[in-house]
């Protein structure tokens, strides 16, 4: 096949560039220091402010008993009759604390799903989740309402710190999916109008438990 002169010129320039690589102009630009200033607030407060600023709903609980009470109030107020949770540890703690409204047998038929997370990122108000969790890839995005139960020990300041934590936790065997969820699903693709709940849950709740 004959190559056009313009294409040949481009390929020639690429070959020359590969043969004589240009030194990186700012060799020290990649470092271990963060480009963001350290937080001056408690991580709980910073996360709550950033998460609610992105249309998330936040609640702080002293213990699992208060968590169960607040979940009960939420399901009644929002008329969430079908709740799904397949994370054994979270489910057992809630049942022990007095919440047992798990009538949904699968995520496809539920009004809300309850999951945990890997970590909470204070600076961006994000939930970091992975496919290694029992909930897998679908539970947090398929249900119309996503409820995340997390603990204060899971709070970190920034994304870099979160990824280092995950890398250390899984010791070279990273999950096939690591994802950040920052508030409910939203898009402004249609006539630049913000629409919530198009590609995922319309509402996201984080119940942060002391511990």
pLDDT at residue number 17: 76
Taking only the tens place, the pLDDT of each residue in 159-196 is: 999 999 999 999 878 999 999 998 776 665 666 665 55
pLDDT at residue number 207: 97
Q: What is the CA radius of gyration of the chain?
A: 22
Q: How many CA atoms lie within 13 A of 208 on its CB side?
A: 23
Taking only the tens place, the pLDDT of each residue in 24-64 is: 666 665 556 666 777 778 999 999 999 999 889 999 999 99
Q: Which one has a higher pLDDT value, 169 or 199?
A: 169
Of 47, 81, 71, whose CA–CA distance to 154 is shortest?
47
pTM of the model: 0.79
- How far apart are alpha carbons 94 and 105 in whole angstroms? 17
Which tokens sit at 132? 């290694």
Q: How many CA atoms lie within 13 A of 116 on its CB side?
A: 23
**Residue 178 neighbours by CB distance under 10 Å:** 17
- How far apart are alpha carbons 134 and 86 in whole angstroms? 7
* Per-position DSSP letters for 60-112, written without gaps between them: EESSHHHHHHHHHHHHHHTT---EE---HHHHHHHHHHT------SSGGG-SE
3-class DSSP assignment, residue 34: coil
């Amino acid at each position: 096949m004959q190559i056009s002169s313009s294409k040949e010129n481009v390929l020639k320039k690429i070959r020359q560039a590969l043969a004589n690589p240009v030194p990186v102009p700012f060799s020290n630009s990649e470092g271990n220091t963060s480009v963001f200033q350290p937080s001056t607030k408690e991580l709980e407060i910073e996360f709550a402010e950033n998460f609610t600023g992105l249309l998330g709903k936040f609640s702080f609980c002293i213990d699992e008993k208060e968590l169960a009470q607040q979940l009960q109030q939420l399901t009644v107020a929002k008329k969430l009759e079908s709740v799904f949770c397949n994370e054994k540890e979270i489910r057992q703690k809630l049942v022990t604390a007095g919440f047992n409204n798990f009538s949904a047998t699968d995520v496809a038929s539920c009004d809300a799903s309850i999951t945990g997370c890997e970590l909470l990122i204070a600076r961006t108000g994000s939930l970091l989740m992975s496919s290694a969790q029992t909930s897998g890839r679908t539970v947090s995005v398929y249900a119309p309402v996503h409820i995340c139960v997390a603990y204060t020990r899971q709070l970190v300041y920034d994304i870099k710190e979160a990824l280092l934590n995950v890398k250390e936790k899984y010791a070279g065997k990273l999950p096939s999916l690591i994802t950040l969820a920052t508030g409910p699903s939203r898009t402004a693709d249609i006539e630049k109008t913000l629409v919530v709940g198009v590609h995922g849950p319309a509402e996201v709740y984080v119940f942060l438990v002391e511990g």
